[in-house]
Structure 1
């Protein structure tokens, strides 16, 4: 695997940590700016919306430059947004910096996913994508607890400066490494051809699967602390519960990178079925603290194993859309992360923890059906099975 893949993963980790860390900063931010915690949570929603909108827009804008220049520019904008955020004098200014950072992150992730195809052979695409997404899963493990600990010690603004420092090594590495320039030059986008490539059944279906699987995943993750507390887990142990889910997520992505490439469709369909069983088991045992702990790790592993494999599928199937292919994968990830908590929140308000898991199970059923429909096995000219 090229060293640049790991450099990009490091940058994605830094940016992903920023996306997740605000979950532990709502109270201090709301107290400093005199807004309610619910209003402070708008900063998280703003980030998700910025990611959804920014991915295609920034991918199109970035197509005018060399990939390396584009990645450096997006990372610099992301760093600048955090410097301004750390110095923000009002909540409105902080909100603007969150949208700005999200758009830059969306562009960086979209270009990274598109660039992957030029850095590795086709058979290694799934592994390379899984390596990039490992940065995101590591952010879920350490982003919230590390950000919370830093905020407790030095104030919430220190977490923004921490993200700036974390981006430093990746920025230096990108400035020194010219691999993207060797891999390709400036992309000449043919919008009609790219949209046509994205409109294919295999691509649209994979995008749909990614949205619903990630919606179920992030819906549960958002409410996992409340689920744990309602099961009798002490508040002091909730960070460990979230970490268990994050560890499972990392293991799932690592397993996908190692074993999914040669059996991708089986991995996605079989993994979706296993995930459905895991969500259902957690639903049935939601009042048992031990079961919630154990199944959180299992669900984290299965959900991210399936999710990362589907993203890899999108990137490969969208080869005919070299600019918007990576953007579509980014949109799928973040649209799920935006919609899932909304659905889970409505369910939690109506029936409590069980409702959150019921929503995840239903979304997984939809994803399972869509994966069977959209990712059919076919035989190539040599009679070999393609997955």
Structure 2
């Protein structure tokens, strides 16, 4: 595995830390910027908006750039947004920096995925993507608690300065080790869109949305479930979150090994595991011991499908090397946004925190159904969505 792939994963770690750490900084931001905690929480939504829009827009606008130049530009802008946010007392300026930072972070994901795939043979694509996406898993285990620790001792601005420094360090590594290459041919948007307009690709994107939402609907309220339903003391919540992170790291490692040789089977096993884990979590939410084990399994099964979801579009639409990964990033962020929103609706309706796990099981069942549909369409991977059935026979 080329060193450049690991550097891309470390760059995702640097940026992913910013994505995750805000959850532990809301109180400090609220007090310092004189806004309510719900208003501070909107900064998380702002990041999601930027991620959703950034991948397709930047994939198109930077399509003729060298990949290293694009990656360096994204990291530079990301670092600047954190310097600006750490230096201002304006809530709305911080809000704007979250959107812009997420916008270029999504671009980094898209171009970084295409770069990693181009550096390895077809038989190692899943493993390469497990390393790149593993940067976000490491951010869950290390970056989230570290950002919260820095925020507690140096203030939320200190955490933002730290992310800016990590981003600059990532720039140095990308400049030194990522090859300065361009796509073999300048991407053509119309041809790439045509390549993506096949049913298996859209089933893949739908599976990504539902599988991600199935995991995030529970994870988004895991801290509250642990304290309010399971009865765990607040100071032990980070420990259980670390257990989730350990499971995620194991899952993405195993999933990376099987993604290339058994992609659909990996999806079936992983999504089935998320469904079973969610059901058991809903049933045992009041008991600490099974909850801790199930949190580990939720991370393992949920992240175990990540390498397939990230890499399979390159097999289904090999000519869509620019817009394919951009579509992946957008699909992931729809799931990331939809899952916690659905959980919030259930909790607001008075259904209790265990209800989020039931929702996760239902969403997982939808993802499993789409995966089953995909298995029936494997011989038709190149069939356009709009092509009539009579033309396929």
- Taking structure 2 as the reference length, what is the TM-score of the superposition? 0.93
**Structure 1 11/191 Cα, relative in aligned 2: closer, same or farther at 3 Å?**
same
- 2:256 maps to 1:222: no
Partner of 1:258: 257
1:97-138 CA-partner distances (Å, limit 9, x unpaired): 101100010001000112222111111111111110000111
Alignment-derived partner of residue 176 in structure 2: 176
Provide the C-alpha distance between the structure 2 equivalents of 1:54 and 1:8, rounded to a whole number of angstroms.
18
Partner Cα distance (2:222, 2:170) in 1: 31
Structure 1 residues 272 and 280: CA distance shift in structure 2, 3 A: same
Aligned partner of 2:391 in structure 1 is none
Alignment partner, residue 319 of structure 2? 320
Deviations 1:305-325 (A, max 9, x none): 023322221233232211101
SS at match of 1:197: helix
CA distance in 1, matches of 2:21, 2:200: 34
Paired position in structure 2 for 1:280:
279
State the distance in 2 between where 1:99 and 1:369 align: 34
Structure-2 separation of matches of 1:36 and 1:297: 33
Match of 2:41 in 1: 41
Query: Per-residue deviation at 1:294?
Result: 1.1
Which residue is 1:198 aligned to?
A: 196
Q: Which residue number corresponds to residue 353 of structure 1?
A: 353
Tell me if the contact between 1:64 and 1:186 (Cα under 8 Å) persists in the aligned partners. Answer: no
Quick one: structure 1 residues 185 and 308, their matched pair in 2 at CA, closer, same or farther if it must change by over 3 Å? closer
Matches within 5 A, 1:91-240: 91-181=91-181, 184-185=182-183, 188-229=186-227, 230-240=229-239
How many Å apart are 1:378 and its aligned residue?
Answer: 4.6
Which 5+ residue runs of structure 2 have no aligned equivalent?
Answer: 381-393
Q: Which runs of 4+ in 1 moved over 3 A?
A: 184-187, 375-380
Shift of 1:180: 4.3
User: What is the rounded CA distance, in whole Å, between the counterparts of 1:14 and 1:178 in structure 2?
Assistant: 16
Decide whether the 8 Å contact of 2:214 with 2:274 is kept in 1.
Answer: no
Contact 1:187 1:323 in 2 (8 A): no
Q: Deviations over 1:272-295 (max 9, x none)?
A: 112211111111111111111110
1:311 corresponds to: 310
- The aligned counterpart of 1:267 is 266
Residue in 1 aligned with 2:63?
Answer: 63
Give the conservation status (yes or no) of the 8 Å contact 1:67–1:186. no
Helix, strand or coil for the counterpart of 2:261?
Answer: helix
Q: In the aligned structure 2, how far is the partner of 1:55 from the partner of 1:138?
A: 22
5+ long unaligned stretches in structure 1 = 381-387
Structure 2 distance, partners of 1:304, 1:327, is 19
Indicate if the aligned counterparts of 1:265 and 1:377 stay in contact, CA closer than 8 A: no
Secondary structure of 1:210's aligned partner? helix
The match for 1:242 is: 241
Contact 2:4 2:177 in 1 (8 A): yes
Of stretches 254-263 and 23-32 in structure 1, the one that deviates more from structure 2 is 254-263
Measure how far apart 1:187 and its partner are. 5.1
Residue in structure 2 matched with residue 383 of structure 1 by the alignment: none
Hey, what does 2:289 align to over in structure 1?
Answer: 290
List per-residue Cα deviations over 1:296-340 (Å, max 9, x = no partner). Answer: 001110011023322221233232211101101111111111111
In 1, Cα distance between equivalents of 2:120 and 2:150: 38
Give the total of aligned pairs: 378
Query: Please, what TM-score do these two structures have when normalized by structure 1?
Result: 0.94
Q: Which residue in the other structure is 1:384 paired with?
A: none
